[in-house]
Amino acid sequence: REKEEGEAREAKLQHDVQDVQQKMEAAAAEAEEKEFQMERARVRMEEEAVSLKEQVEKHRADLDDLMGRCVDAEEALDGEKVAHQELRMTEQELRVEIEDLQADL
């Protein structure tokens, strides 16, 4: 009877050991899968960061271009203002000359 009880305990222990081994293997497989998923997520985030950095650089280049065009437009506007003032001065000079000529008549 003791022999049977010993064999039964040994069989139970053997079963418990196998059960623990299976649980450990399942936990290790799950940990490996989670590690794989985390690595994939990290790679995706790095790719997204690179993409965002490229977009920022493009937007900066676009802003630099726009700023340059604004400066060019301001310079052109200043040139037009000067030309307009010169035309007004010429117009005034012509009026004075016309008035002088009319006065001479």
Give per-residue pLDDT as tens, 48-61: 999 999 999 999 99
pTM: 0.53
> What was the pLDDT predicted at 3?
83
pLDDT in tens, 16-29: 999 999 999 999 99
- Going through 41-87 in order, the beta strands assigned E by DSSP cover none
pLDDT in tens, 63-82: 999 999 999 999 999 999 99
**Cα-Cα-Cα-Cα dihedral of 62, 63, 64, 66, to 10°?**
90
Q: How far apart are the first and last CA of the chain?
A: 152
47/54 Cα distance (integer angstroms): 11
